[in-house]
A and B are shown apart, each in its own frame.
Chain A
Amino acid sequence: MADMTKPEWQAQKTYDQNRADCRVKATRPPLTPDEEKRPFAKYYYDEIPQPDPVHYATMDEPMDPADAIYPEDINRLLDVPALEAGVEIGWCNLPNGAGYIANRIHYPQFTADMVDWWFAWHPLEDLRYRIWYPPQHAGIMLSPMDRARILDDSIPNREKNWGVVHNVTENCDNGYENIDIAFRSPADAGFDMEKFDKVAATMAGGMGWAVTVDKTDESITAPALMVHMFYDAPEGGLIHRTRFWMGYRFNEKDKPELCLPPGVSVPVEAVQGLARHNVKEYTRWREFLPRIHAELGSGMYC
């Protein structure tokens, strides 16, 4: 029987309460006294590492869209030699108007188990998400049923997020948004599992819907497909390859579908902003995950 007095359960808010709270979260208020007592509060005050200047500067200009991978071809992410021969870091608008982002980072100290633990552990409390990237991560919420799944000891960390929605409040360099990210299993994301199991160490990804926290009747709610692929690195640790396809959603048949109006493109500022944010938040993650996993990585509770 779960101890519902634990902070991991007490963090639960209703849907409408969380939506109302998001405007306050977006102001990134100081930690509450209860948050200050959490064993991971100290990470909030870390000095945040800056991205490698050369890497970050790659996001200054768009890449050639001819070098992009489309979501219908997601299995190309399992052809590592071809990936290495192509463009691994960049962003652009595709000819159909969609936004495309590619990023690659090497994590010398990472293991797949650490990644799986993090993606299951961090959505349980606002502060867990905030410490990931304090300058731009404002909060997170799970539904009661999703929370129960994450806290279910019988489900392996790797599978906890399959079908779970992270309701995050985040600034991707274009102001704070509420982003509902519905995570999927690799199979449901479209991967050929026979190849996936041979090539990939682990994966986190799915579909997000983003809208400004100051939503009005005219605000656009924007879809995107997202995949974070992790591969064992020959030199040790993991290689992380990210892809975003902005303007796409998974339809009811689990197929990627572009849902931009004809003639409309995802704004350049949104694509570049997410690309830059991605470099910044994963630069921080690279330095921070091994430390916090060593301290707290034995389970979901702390």
Chain B
Amino acid sequence: MPIKLMAASRRRPGLTRAEYFRYIEHYHGTVARVERFKIEKYIQNHVIDGAFGVLSDDSHQNKVTDRDAVVELHFDSFRDMLATLEPEGVTQSRANQDGRFFADEANNVLVMAEEEELPVASPMPAFNPGLGEPGHGALKVMQYIMRRPDVFPQDFHRLWRRAHDEALATSSYANEMFRKITVSRRSRVNDNDAAARAHFRMVDPPVYDLVVSITLDSMEQVGAFRQYFDAMTKSALDFADWSQSFFLYVRPVRIIDDASAKE
């Protein structure tokens, strides 16, 4: 898919997590299906757990913490994305007006990204409905990595890839359990995100150049990600601000997806 919009948000004051998840899946998700505009695919990722910064930090240095969901809206083109965020002839879409009922909108974190799937050593060997969807595991880890400000963006992505390959080479459990790895690189179209910031009502959001999504069979295997994460953060390659990075364990929920069931 050429481009997608990822918004990591926190639930609004006064809602429990259960109330929030019920609302965004069943009500907000329905609004999006009814008023689809140019959305090609829409996945909600409901956060089960997560960590912000690293163990060596004495206190949180992230500008935002406590994410409850990451929505991923896929589009065929940047123009389709804009046509959805600013639909012609509509002052505010229903989805736009609905956000304030469940999200703490001012601190949404938004990334417009392009995806690349990386090879894994051990793809899921056979379909098992007890483990999520065909070909994928049931648990996704979403790792938001902040570039160090002194590192050029092009070097950041190259160094991440080197560190990733080296981390996997020394993390046998991760190599065994990672079923799918998707790299979402921030696009420069994100530099012109005034419409998106208005849509999601963000105020001075932090910028993340990279989101890495890793699928595991279930929550039982998150130790595999921990092994990989420790190897990444110990890398001699200095490209990320790990104190301002975070990862989330999420449950993906399909809201809109026209792909055939076997894909």
Contacts and interface: CB of A to CB of B under 8 A. Distances in A.
B122 to A, nearest CB: 25
Given A221-B191, A252-B116, A143 B79 contact: no
A5 interface: no
Given A223-B188, A262-B79, A252 B2 contact: yes
Interface residues of A, number: 29
A69 interface: no
Interface stretch (A12-20, A81-89, A185-193, A234-242): A12-20
A145 interface: yes
Nearest to A261: B82
A51 B219 CA distance: 68
A259 interface: yes
A259 B78 CA distance: 6
Contacts of A16: 149-150
A209 B188 contact: yes
Given A143-B155, A165-B154, A252-B115, A218 B83 contact: no
A182 interface: yes
Contacts of A251: 2-3, 114
B3 A145 contact: no
Nearest to A221: B191
* Residue among A167, A218, A261 with max Cβ neighbours from chain B (10 Å): A261
Contact of B150 (A17, A253, A262): A17
Contacts of B158: 145
Interface string A16-31: 1100000000000000
A262 B84 CA distance: 11
A151 interface: no
A144 B158 CA distance: 11
A252 B116 CA distance: 8
Given A16-B150, A262-B79, A220 B192 contact: yes
Contacts of A217: 194
A266 interface: no
Contacts of A257: 2, 77-78
Contacts of A281: none
B151 interface: yes
B83 A262 contact: yes
A211 B155 CA distance: 20
Contacts of A144: 152, 155
Nearest to A251: B2
Nearest to A143: B152
A180 B79 CA distance: 22
Contact of A261 (B79, B185, B188): B79
A221 B192 CA distance: 6
Contacts of A220: 192
B79 A182 contact: no
Contacts of B188: 180, 209, 221, 223, 249
Interface of B: 2-3, 77-79, 82-83, 86, 88, 114-116, 149-155, 158-159, 185, 188-189, 191-192, 194-195
Interface of A: 14-17, 143-146, 165, 167, 180, 182, 209, 211, 217-218, 220-221, 223, 249, 251-253, 257-262
Given A14-B151, A15-B149, A262-B88, 14 more contacts: A16-B150, A17-B150, A143-B152, A145-B158, A209-B191, A251-B3, A252-B185, A253-B2, A257-B77, A257-B78, A258-B79, A259-B78, A259-B79, A260-B79
